[in-house]
Structure 1
C-alpha cells in the first residue's frame, strides 16, 4: 500500500476512534396519544368546536410525550424555547384536521399546540426542533388509522358497549403493537373510550412495543360514543 493509501487508512481509523457516541436524548421513549372526540365532548365539561368547524368523526392527536422507563416523564424542559407559530405555518391546515382542539372557548388550535410543544416537545429538542416535532407526530398519525381498524372489527362509534379485550385485540392484530386504553366518563357516568396510547422510539418516528405497560384505565366493558 502506498503512502497515500496508508494516510487514508490512518484517517479512517482515527475518525472511527474519535467518532462521538450517539447523543443521549434524555428520555427513554415517547407515548403517542390519540383521542376520540366523541368522548372528549360527552362529559359534564363538554367541548367547543374549533373556529375551523366541527372536526371529522375520527381519532385526533393529543400529543407526543417523552417518558422514562420508570413511569415518570420530563416536562417543560426549556422555558426559553417558546412556541413559534411561524415555524409551523406550512402545517397548520393539516394540524387543524388531524390535531384539532376541542377546548373552550372556540379557537384556532394554537393554544393547544403551544401547550403540547412547551410541556412535551421541548423535552425532545435534542432529537427534533419544533417543526420536526409536529411533522413527525402527524406522520405517526398517518400510519395508524384507528377508526378503520376498529370499525373493521365491528367496533363502531354508536354509543354501544364493547369489550376492552376486543378493542385491544383488534388494534394489536392490525398494528402489531399493544395499545394502552384510557377511558373517561359521560354525564351518566358510563366509561367511554377516550384515549389510545402507543409507544414510539426516541427518534419519534418508529412504533415500538411499550417498555412499560401501564394499566388500562377502563373497565372490562366500555362505550364507544357517537360524535
Structure 2
C-alpha cells in the first residue's frame, strides 16, 4: 500500500525518469512534429516518383512546436525573419514518398564541407539539443537517397546544393512580401494560397499547426512543386493538397515565437 509521506518522492522519481526518456527520444530519433495526411501511408523501398516537393518552414512556428513538447527546449533561429529549408522530397502523386530508399548511401558530414557554412544559415536546425547534424542526416537518409536516381541529385552535396539553389530563387519571405503577407498578421488560408499563386503562377501547399486549447492556428510550412527537370509546376495531386489549415479560422503568421502555456496538474 502507498503511504502519503512516500508518494511525493516516488512520483518525483517517476516524472524525472519519464522526462529523461522523452529527451533521449527527441535527441536520437528526429521525431519532428510535422502536420501530415494520416490517411496516406508512406512508401518505402522504391525509387519511383513523379515530382519533387521543395518545403520551406517558418522557424518561429517550428520553435513553437519544439517548445510545446517541453518548456526547457530552446531554439536556434535565423536572423532577419528568414524562412529556412525543411527538405527536398521526391514524391508520388496522392502518396507520401518514396522514403529511405538506399541505406548504402551513408550520410557524411565531410562531403558537405564546401556548402556547410551556407547550410548553417539557410538549412538551419531550429531544434536545439538534438544530435549534431541529425536534421541534415535525416533529410538525406529519408529523401536524398531516393532522389539520387536523378543525375543532378546523385550525391549528397548535389542534393543539398539544389535545395540552397531553390531557396535563392523561391525564398518564401520574398514571395509572401510580394503578396503583401507579412509576419505578425493573421490571414485566411485562401488569402495565403491565392497570394502565392499570384506571385509564382503555380499552386502550392500550405501547412499549419494548431493549438486546440488556445484555438489558434499558425503558419508552419509552404511547399512548392517541380518536375524532374526542376521546372516549377502546380502541386495538385500531392497528398494533403492544398492545405491542412482550417478554412474557418484566421491563420497567424507569427512575428515572434508564440508562447505555449503548459497546464501542470498537481
Q: What is the TM-score with the length of structure 2 in the denominator?
A: 0.69
**1:162, 1:222 within 8 Å by CA — same for their partners in 2?**
yes
- Which of 194, 218, 223 does residue 252 from structure 2 map onto? 223
- Higher RCO structure (Cα 8 Å, ≥6 apart): 1
* Contact 1:49/1:106, CA 8 A, preserved across alignment: no
Which residue pairs with 1:20 in the alignment? none
Which of 172, 186, 206 is residue 161 of structure 1 equivalent to?
A: 186
Q: TM-score, with normalisation over the residues of structure 1?
A: 0.80
Runs (5+) with no aligned partner, structure 2: 1-46, 257-266
Distance 1:114 1:224, change over 3 A: same
Alpha-carbon distance between aligned partners in 2 of 1:154 and 1:27, rounded to the nearest angstrom: 34
Please name the residue that 1:22 is paired with.
Answer: none
Residue 40 of structure 1, aligned match among 43, 50, 62? 62
| Residue among 96, 103, 107 paired with 2:120 | 96
Determine helix, strand or coil for the equivalent of 2:218: strand
Q: Which moved more, 1:112-121 or 1:166-175?
A: 166-175
Asked if 2 retains the 8 angstrom alpha-carbon contact of 1:28 and 1:68, the reply is: yes
What CA distance in whole angstroms lies between the structure 1 residues aligned with 2:126 and 2:105? 25
Aligned with 2:204 (options 176, 179, 186): 179
Q: Does the CA-based 8 Å contact 1:48-1:106 persist in structure 2?
A: no
Matched with 1:134 is: 160
Q: Tell me, which stretches of 5 or more residues in structure 1 are unaligned?
A: 1-24
User: CA-to-partner distance for each residue in 1:66-96, whole Å, 9 max, x for gaps?
Assistant: 1112323111111111101111111111111
Match of 2:98 in 1: 74
Contact 1:49 1:55 in 2 (8 A): no
- Number of equivalenced pairs: 198
* Pairing partner for 1:208 from 233, 249, 258: 233
What is the RMSD computed on CA atoms of the aligned residues?
2.1
> Is the 2:54–2:88 Cα contact (8 Å) retained in structure 1?
yes
- After superposition, what is the alpha-carbon deviation per residue over 1:140-177, rounded to whole angstroms, capped at 9, x for unaligned? 1111122123233332111x321211111111111111
Q: Which residue of 1 aligns with 2:171?
A: 145
Q: Which runs of 4+ in 1 moved over 4 A?
A: none
CA contact (8 A) 1:149 1:174 kept: yes
Q: Quick check: 182-191 or 34-43, which moved more?
A: 182-191
Larger Rg: 1
